[in-house]
A and B are shown apart, each in its own frame.
Chain A
Amino acid sequence: MTDIPAHLPHRYPFLLVDRVLEREPGVRVVAEKLVTNGEPYLQGHFEGRPLVPGVLLLEMLAQAGGFLEAGTLHDAAIFLAGVKDARFRAPAFPGDRLRLEVTSEGAFAGLMKLKGAVTCEDRELCTATLLVKRL
């Protein structure tokens, strides 16, 4: 079991990874996020019809991607540098158990390219390519 707060510097309400299921640094990570009714952003997105904003699905993938790094990111300057080919196929709702899968496509000079997919019960909700820069 990976100690998530020890690895990622993100905290409530912006820590968007609950569990790391599989992890091979530099290669592949599978993580999980349980969407609850208590998520602060659901209050206004949208009133009476809560669904997870698509950009947060991308953020979930980016945070899951943080576990591709072997060491803790607490003192690391790491940023999202690009998003390509993002597709949102279906919304995520409270109660959904989201599977966040990221694989590394390669890295050069502190920049890593990741392919990510958010799925829920084998339905693909979101796929994207992310670029992450580590200074």
Chain B
Amino acid sequence: MSDLKLRVKEMIIERLKLEGMTPDQIEDQAPLFGDGLGLDSIDALELVLGIEQVFGVKIEDEAAGLKAFKSVQALTDFIAEHTKG
């Protein structure tokens, strides 16, 4: 697992208080909302704030959120893309 992806998973677990869950239990391709981790809109706000705090990346609107929250992989790519340079 890439270092960034691991940090993303740890941030998700910490921010959403998914107690008892470990990073390797979160599948890279599983959707964060709906069927996958089953997160809701309140969790989305927590993640947006967490991503901003931990990685310094802002998710500006719902369109960006839709893209970034597709899966852990998508979120990791989104963060990597926005922290370049």
Contact = CB atoms under 8 A, between A and B. Distances in A.
B49 A81 contact: no
Contacts of B21: none
20 contacts: A105-B49, A106-B48, A106-B49, A106-B52, A107-B45, A108-B44, A108-B45, A108-B49, A108-B59, A108-B65, A109-B41, A109-B44, A109-B62, A109-B65, A110-B41, A113-B46, A113-B49, A131-B42, A131-B45, A133-B41
Interface string B63-80: 001000000000000000
Interface of B is mostly: helix
Q: Interface residue tally of chain B, by bracket?
A: 10 to 19
Interface of B: 41-42, 44-46, 48-49, 52, 59, 62, 65
Nearest to A107: B45
